[in-house]
Amino acid sequence: MLNAMHGMIAGLKAVVSEDLFEAVKVVRECCGATGISFMSGIPFIMEVVSPFMTLEGDGVVMGMQTARFLLKEAANIFKGKQPNQVVAYLSELKSLKAPGNFTVSDLKNPQLGLQLLKLSALLRLAKYA
């Protein structure tokens, strides 16, 4: 369970840190010259938020740790082992079948889009796992 928690939290940290930094940056840019002024408080917020990108590990490293966890779990699924319950949804990829013939208008169907995304994930996992 510890591996699963680490894998999830590492990915979450990478995504949330980057999104937070980008959001504060957009707010600063939208405020124009006022966003640069210390009277607005935005430079202080930027100063507080910007270290989150590298504290406890760079976002790239955190993303790689999450990817490593997911690939290990996918490899276990392909070997016939039970996956961690956190990523049990990956086991349904093993039984996924490619959709038959479809037309361009069929692409408007969200279920087909979801099935195609799952199939793409399966092919990528099979390639690297």
What are the catalytic residues?
56
Listed residue (16, 40, 20) closest to 30, CA to CA: 40
What's the first-to-final CA gap in the chain, in angstroms? 20
Task: Read off the tokens for 104.
Answer: 């361009």
Distance between CA 124 and CA 51 in Å, rounded? 33
